[in-house]
Amino acid sequence: MRKAVNAAIIQNKKILLVKKENTWILPGGKPKQNETDIQCLFRGMKEELPGMIVHSVILLGEKFVGKTPHTGDQIESAVFLVEADGSIKPSAEINDSSFFSSFDALEISEPTKKCINFFKEKGLFIALLFFPKFKIIQKTSDVKHSVFDRSFKFGN
């Protein structure tokens, strides 16, 4: 089973999705060899949404398994709650990006659907309105800053 690392960026009860080919997914990517989840997350964000600035992240304790729409492979997605701002203008590898609160009319990947349903069931879209700032649970030493051409600020 392949692994993916994704960002759940929630603002005003809406979640940011990116469109690859014809399918909406959470931004992120697949880890490269010897790359930590947090490194993969930042690399994926930089590649897909270069105008976003990540301020803090926290690993969601749940994994979401499902088939990828493009290959049909099983994938296990580790999802981080991400506090970020800036431009959501996508890079060339992404067709579109937008915040959504309604998902019925969208073609969404199976792991992304499972993550969205988890957020709905746990009331996290609303809860995050009251807790807009959260702290990183990864040590900043886990991130190799040389990978990035912009600085990233983590919560204290």
Query: Token digits for 62?
Result: 């749940």
DSSP state for residue 108 in the 8-state scheme: B
Buried b (16+ CB within 10 A) or exposed e, 104-119: eeeebbbbbbbbbeeb
Helix extents (H) in 60-154? 110-122, 124-130
Map out the domains of the chain as residue ranges. 2-131
**Using CA atoms, how far apart are residues 32 and 69, in angstroms rounded to an integer?**
21
Provide the pLDDT for residue 16: 96
Classify domain 2-131 at the CATH superfamily level: Nucleoside Triphosphate Pyrophosphohydrolase (3.90.79.10)
**Using CA atoms, how far apart are residues 145 and 125, in angstroms rounded to an integer?**
31
With 0.85 as the threshold, say if the pTM is over it.
no
Comparing C-alpha atoms, which of 58, 48, 40 is closest to residue 17? 48
Provide the pLDDT for residue 119: 86
Instruction: List the pLDDT tens digit at each of the 156 positions of the chain.
Output: 999 999 999 888 889 999 998 999 999 999 999 999 999 999 999 999 999 988 888 888 889 999 987 788 999 999 998 988 899 999 998 999 999 988 888 999 999 999 999 888 887 766 555 454 444 444 444 444 333 333 343 333
